[in-house]
Amino acid sequence: MIEGAYLAGETGDKKFVPYLLKDANNPRMSTDLHYKGISVYESKMGALRKIYGKEPPVPITSDVDSTVIKFYTNLSKR
């Protein structure tokens, strides 16, 4: 999931937004060497930041923050 979110963000294609928002509050962390310590939430929000080119009102960390999820959910509805 983490690698997929990263690749979706790199494309910049908004067709991935619904998939990135689905279960966005997933706190699981990667143990893969390339993504060690990155949570699913963090990778999905990072991808959305790249796709929309907008920073959320609070920093994206590995801890789930509903403010960030709501920010990108609202952007997706525009």
Alpha-carbon distance 72 to 70, whole Å? 6
pTM over 0.85? The answer is: yes
Q: Give the domain ranges of the chain.
A: 2-76
Count helices and strands (H / E) in the chain.
Answer: 4, 0
Q: Give me the tens of pLDDT residue by residue for the chain, a chain 78 residues long.
A: 899 999 999 999 999 999 999 999 999 998 878 778 899 999 999 999 999 999 999 999 989 999 999 999 999 998
